[in-house]
Amino acid sequence: MTLRERAARWLPFTVPALFLAVFFVLPAGTIVLTGLRPEGRLDLGTLPRVLSDPGTLRVAWFTLWQAAASTALTLVLGLPGAYALTRLRFRGRAALRAAVMVPFVLPTVVVGSAFLALLGPRSPVNAASVALLGEAAPTLDLRRTVTAILLAHVFFNYAVVVRSVGGLWEHLDPRLEDAARTLGASRWRVFREVSWPLLRPAVASSAAIVFLFTFTSFGVVLILGGPGRATIEVEIYRATVQLLNLPLASVLALLQLAAVTAALVAYGRLQRRVTRQPLRSAGSTARPPRTVGERLFLAVNLAVIVLLVLAPLLVLVERSLAVDGGYGFAHYRALFSDQRSTVLAVAPLEAIRNSVVFGLAAALVALVVGGCAATAASRPGRAGRVLDRALMLPLGTSAATVGFGFLLALARPPLDLRGSLLLVPAAQALIATPFVVRTLLPVLRSIDQRLRDAAATLGATPRRVWREVDLPIVGRAVLAAVGFSFAIAVGEFGATVFLARGQTPTMPVAIFRLLGRPGVANFGQAMAMSTILMFVTASAVAVLDRLRVGQVGRF
């Protein structure tokens, strides 16, 4: 191999590895070492004290339990939804696919408030409990709290299953299923013996992402759980921001990282060798529902989407329009007429512009890094698998650890980025990159290697093979990955709140600041900003879903 060929071979490994080392390993390692060396020397005495504390064990158990339950519930509801939105054609499908993406990018403080209104002490659900059960209703507080947390997690992560699994499902050749049905197999047997083996890698990938997100849940548990229900992520935030106890935060961060690493090892073992299969274009696999059973299946899934995904969004819209004596646009007018740039009141247009600019930059970085990583992971060999799992670690690391670590580690030469605006898109890209990998990898692994070999035999260079063989097949997944990463970057809050300057807030940071101010008017303006954030996200996803550039995305 020539030097140029060797460089092209190792580039997909080098770019993600350098990005991960600079923007994850260095910041996370800095804050952990700072906490374990409070006086300049290593002090491991905090480890046994924190790990043996009953409160820590209780928090760790609740974190693990609610993450496992949330993942299982999301898969149970999300897999049928993925089939309905990708393999069945109906009016309004494109708009609905864009709508299910919106919850994933909403700030957790806003979603927590919405579910508190739906299932909290003053909600209609609680009023019905009191009417039916009388004095026994208060005993349901704990159950209602856990239910609200689980449903909020499904609300957030439903799009992960629909987009990740559906991104592969819409490419599977339906003739395989039709052949099995012709031979007498039932629908369940067709799914179990034909579809499931092909979908299993995408399902395992989406399950791993959902578990990591729910394991590190912060805003939802902080608002809905109260002082009695906390995850490790919430405890890290309290130790870092409220108690300024870096030793405690460091030990909890190590505990969280160990649990996430164990989950990634289990995920790697669950992955099986991918079965190669012919891929079809996305438009050719969808069809209208034919039987009464299919129509009923579609109706049930649409009802789940409306009740679980769209109802909380409608609550936010309703609150943004609610004014004294009825409904109107007073909160929107107040939002855009108040152009002050203080710490608490920010110019809305500035926040929107910052979110879009940072989101586009983060999506570009995530596409480059994630595309290289997906290419490396699709190749045979252990190096690609290790890189794939390593890029999942930021999802399981505290956002407070990452954001605070950026400020500590990247504030000295040769990486002095304290005054740079690159910190925000870098942190957002760090969170979005695993989703790019998860979206591209199942499709890349499904490309028949013989197509590449045939092109190379005919004299095509590796670059031309990628451009004329891989890109037309994976192009639609690339567009989906761009939309996914942009949506994630626009709604990222945990690390951005540490890094965004007072003059350059994003929409989630502006919403958080408005929610932190007392008064009904500020709350209404926060809901109005949340509605704008929903509109921006849904529009971006809808445009990218329909975008075609030449032959890119014809599959």
| pLDDT at 2 > cutoff 70 | no
Confidence category of residue 121, pLDDT binned at 50, 70, 90: low
| pLDDT at 460 > cutoff 50 | yes
Confidence category of residue 555, pLDDT binned at 50, 70, 90: very low
Instruction: Please report whether residue 287 resides in a domain.
Output: no
Query: What letter represents residue 349's amino acid?
Result: L
Task: Quote the strand ranges of 188-291, DSSP E.
Answer: none
What pLDDT does 283 receive? 59
Specify the pairing of strand 326-327 against strand 322-323: antiparallel
Instruction: Please report whether residue 554 resides in a domain.
Output: no
> Once rounded to an integer, what is the mean pLDDT over residues 447-466?
80
Instruction: Please report whether residue 555 resides in a domain.
Output: no
In terms of residue numbers, what domain contains 530? 7-35+50-276+296-318+332-546
Task: Quote the strand ranges of 61-119, DSSP E.
Answer: none
Neighbouring CB atoms inside 10 A of 360's CB total 17
Q: Ranked by mean pLDDT, which of 1-15, 302-316, 340-354 comes out on top?
A: 302-316
Q: Angle at which helices 520-546 and 108-119 pack, to 10 degrees?
A: 110
In this predicted model, what pLDDT tens digit does every residue of 305-323 receive, in sequence order?
888 888 888 888 888 888 8
Rounded Cα distance between 199 and 180, Å, is 16
Give 323's strand partners: 326
Specify the pairing of strand 411-412 against strand 415-416: antiparallel
Instruction: Please report whether residue 285 resides in a domain.
Output: no
What separation, in Å, do the N-terminal and C-terminal C-alpha atoms of the chain show? 33
Rounded Cα distance between 249 and 36, Å, is 9
Q: In terms of pLDDT, which residue wins out, 154 or 524?
A: 154
Neighbouring CB atoms inside 10 A of 318's CB total 13
Among residues of the chain, what percentage have pLDDT more than 70?
81
- Among the residue ranges 179-193, 276-290, 318-332, 356-370, the one predicted with the least confidence is 276-290
- Among the residue ranges 24-33, 202-211, 241-250, 367-376, the one predicted with the least confidence is 241-250
> Once rounded to an integer, what is the mean pLDDT over residues 267-294?
66
Say which residue the tokens 């925000």 belong to. 424
Instruction: Please report whether residue 458 resides in a domain.
Output: yes
Is the bond preceding 414 in cis, omega lying within 30 degrees of 0?
A: yes
User: Which helix (DSSP H) or strand (DSSP E) does residue 545 occupy?
Assistant: helix 520-546
Burial (Cβ within 10 Å: 0-12, 13-18, ≥19) of residue 90: middle
| pLDDT at 168 > cutoff 80 | no
Confidence category of residue 277, pLDDT binned at 50, 70, 90: low
| pLDDT at 404 > cutoff 80 | no
Rounded Cα distance between 82 and 96, Å, is 12
Rounded Cα distance between 305 and 302, Å, is 5
What pLDDT does 227 receive? 61
Query: What letter represents residue 302's amino acid?
Result: L
Query: What letter represents residue 486's amino acid?
Result: F
| pLDDT at 335 > cutoff 80 | no
Task: Quote the strand ranges of 129-232, DSSP E.
Answer: none
Three-state SS across 491-514? HCCCCHHHHCCCCCCCHHHHHHHH
Q: Angle at which helices 399-409 and 246-270 pack, to 10 degrees?
A: 120
| pLDDT at 69 > cutoff 90 | yes
| pLDDT at 135 > cutoff 50 | no
| pLDDT at 341 > cutoff 50 | no
Instruction: Please report whether residue 1 resides in a domain.
Output: no
User: Closest Cα partner for 137 from 118, 122, 158?
Assistant: 122
Rounded Cα distance between 459 and 461, Å, is 6
Neighbouring CB atoms inside 10 A of 299's CB total 12
What pLDDT does 77 receive? 92
Instruction: Please report whether residue 427 resides in a domain.
Output: yes
Q: 281 — alpha (psi -120 to 50), left (phi > 0) or beta?
A: beta
Contact 205, 440 (CB under 8 A): no
User: Closest Cα partner for 19 from 367, 304, 419, 282?
Assistant: 367
> Once rounded to an integer, what is the mean pLDDT over residues 162-179?
79
Report how far Cα 80 is from the mean position of its chain's Cα atoms. Answer: 19
Burial (Cβ within 10 Å: 0-12, 13-18, ≥19) of residue 123: middle
User: What CATH number has the domain bearing residue 366?
Assistant: 1.10.3720.10
What pLDDT does 495 receive? 77
What value does the mean pLDDT of the chain take?
Answer: 77
Confidence category of residue 296, pLDDT binned at 50, 70, 90: very high
Q: Ranked by mean pLDDT, which of 110-114, 170-174, 296-300, 538-542 comes out on top?
A: 296-300
Instruction: Please report whether residue 158 resides in a domain.
Output: yes
Number of domains forming the structure of the chain: 1
What pLDDT does 498 receive? 75
Query: What letter represents residue 212's amino acid?
Result: L
Rounded Cα distance between 507 and 494, Å, is 13
| pLDDT at 282 > cutoff 60 | no
- Among the residue ranges 17-21, 39-43, 214-218, 368-372, the one predicted with the least confidence is 39-43
Burial (Cβ within 10 Å: 0-12, 13-18, ≥19) of residue 336: middle
- In three-state secondary structure terms, 276 is coil
Structure tokens at 438: 């998860």
Residue 50: which residues within 8 A CB-CB, separation 6 or more?
56, 248, 251, 252, 255
| pLDDT at 175 > cutoff 60 | yes
